[in-house]
C-alpha cells in the first residue's frame, strides 16, 4: 500500500483530496495542515519524513492571497518558494515522489492561444513569481517529480471566486464583474481526482503538466453561470479590468493547454460548465 503525505491539508485542494481519499482502498494518506507541518521549517519536515515511509508527497501548502502577496512578499516567498525547496530536499533524501501544485500566474497573459508547458514564463506579481521560483527549486533538485499548474480553482471549501460571488449576491442587488480576463475555471475536486489517478497509474512520466477544466471563459461569464445555476437574482454587469483596480496585476489570458496530461495519463476532463453544474448537483 502506497503511503501519501498531503501538506496544506486544510486548504481548498487538500480538503478535496481528503474527501476523495475515502474512495481509495490501496492508498494510505497522512494529512497535515500548517500546524502539523510548517513547510518553511526544514527540520520539522525532516522529522516527519524520517518517521514515515512516504511514497508520495502532494504539496497543497501555498500562499494564494494574490493582492496581499504584494505587501507580504517575504511570507509568500517563504511558503511558495522556500517551502517547495524544503520539500524537494526532503523528497530527494527519503526517495519520495513530490507532486507540487502551481499556477497559471507564472504567465503574463499576453498569449492568444492556450499556454503549453514549454511556453516562456513571465509572472506579473509576487504571487506568480514566488510560485515560479518554487517550481525551479523542485526542478533543480529532483528528477522524480510532478508539477501541476492549474487555474481559477474553486470548490465547496475555503475562499474562492464561486463562494465570494454567492456571498456578495446575498448582500447586494447589483454587481460588476471583470469581462476582459480569460481563463478556465477548475473544480478542485476534478484536480484532486486527476492527482490520485496519476499516483494509481504508476506511470513514471515525471515533469511539468497543466490541468484545468476544458473550455475558456471570463470572470463575468463564470459569475453569470454560477448565478444561473443557483437561481440567484442579481443585476450582473460586465466591467473592464481598468474599472476594477487591484494591487496585483492579473494575466489577461491564462488558459492552459491540457493536451500533455490528457494523453499521458488518459484523463477524461470535463468542460468547466459541466463540472460547475455537477458541483451544484452534488451540493
Assess if residue 239 is contained within a domain.
Answer: no
**pLDDT mean over 152-158:** 96
pTM above 0.95, yes or no: yes
Note whether residue 225 is domain-resident: no
- Please pick, among 63, 77, 127, 253, the residue that the annotation labels catalytic: 127
Q: What burial class does residue 65 get, using C-beta atoms within 10 Å of its C-beta: 0-12 exposed, 13-18 middle, 19+ buried?
A: middle
Residues of the chain with pLDDT > 70: what percent? 100
Q: Quick one: what percent of the chain has pLDDT higher than 90?
A: 99
Q: Are 134 and 80 in contact (CB under 8 A)?
A: yes
Lowest mean pLDDT among 1-5, 214-218, 266-270, 279-283: 279-283
The number of folded domains in the chain is: 1
Predicted confidence (pLDDT) at residue 283 exceeds the cutoff of 90: no
Query: 27 with 199: CB under 8 angstroms?
Result: yes
Is 249 part of any domain?
no
Average pLDDT over residues 248-276: 98
pLDDT at 66: 97
**Catalytic residue list contains 115:** no
Q: What is the DSSP string of 6-45?
A: EESTTSHHHHHHHHHHTT-SSEEEEEE-TTT--TT-HHHH
CATH of residue 42's domain is 3.40.50.720
Range of the domain at 131: 2-159+185-215+254-270
Rounded Cα–Cα distance for residues 115 and 119 (Å): 6
Amino acid at each position: 500500500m502506497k503511503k501519501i503525505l498531503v501538506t496544506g491539508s486544510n486548504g481548498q485542494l487538500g480538503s478535496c483530496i481528503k474527501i476523495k481519499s475515502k474512495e481509495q482502498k490501496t492508498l494510505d494518506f497522512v494529512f497535515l495542515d500548517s500546524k502539523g507541518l510548517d513547510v518553511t521549517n526544514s527540520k520539522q519536515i525532516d522529522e516527519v519524513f524520517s518517521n514515515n515511509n512516504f511514497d508520495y508527497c502532494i504539496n497543497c501548502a501555498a500562499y494564494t492571497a494574490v493582492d496581499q502577496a504584494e505587501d507580504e512578499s517575504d511570507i509568500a516567498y517563504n511558503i511558495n518558494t522556500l517551502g517547495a525547496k524544503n520539500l524537494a530536499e526532503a523528497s530527494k533524501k527519503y526517495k519520495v515522489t513530490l507532486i507540487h501544485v502551481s499556477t497559471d500566474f507564472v504567465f503574463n497573459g499576453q498569449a492568444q492561444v492556450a499556454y503549453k508547458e514549454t511556453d516562456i514564463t513571465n509572472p506579473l506579481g509576487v504571487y506568480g513569481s514566488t510560485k515560479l521560483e518554487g517550481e525551479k527549486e523542485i526542478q533543480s533538485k529532483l528528477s522524480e517529480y510532478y508539477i501541476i499548474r492549474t487555474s481559477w480553482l474553486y470548490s465547496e471549501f475555503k475562499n474562492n471566486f464561486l463562494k465570494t460571488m454567492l456571498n456578495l449576491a446575498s448582500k447586494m442587488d447589483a454587481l460588476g464583474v471583470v469581462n476582459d480576463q480569460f481563463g478556465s475555471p477548475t473544480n478542485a475536486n476534478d484536480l484532486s481526482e486527476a492527482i490520485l489517478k496519476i499516483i494509481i497509474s504508476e506511470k513514471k512520466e515525471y515533469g511539468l503538466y497543466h490541468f484545468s477544466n476544458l473550455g475558456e471563459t471570463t470572470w463575468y461569464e463564470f459569475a453569470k453561470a454560477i448565478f444561473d445555476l443557483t437561481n440567484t437574482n442579481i443585476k450582473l454587469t460586465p466591467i473592464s479590468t481598468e474599472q476594477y483596480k487591484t494591487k496585483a496585476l492579473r494575466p489577461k489570458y491564462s488558459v492552459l493547454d491540457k493536451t500533455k496530461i490528457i494523453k499521458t495519463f488518459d484523463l477524461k476532463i470535463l468542460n468547466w460548465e459541466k463540472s460547475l453544474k455537477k458541483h451544484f448537483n452534488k451540493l
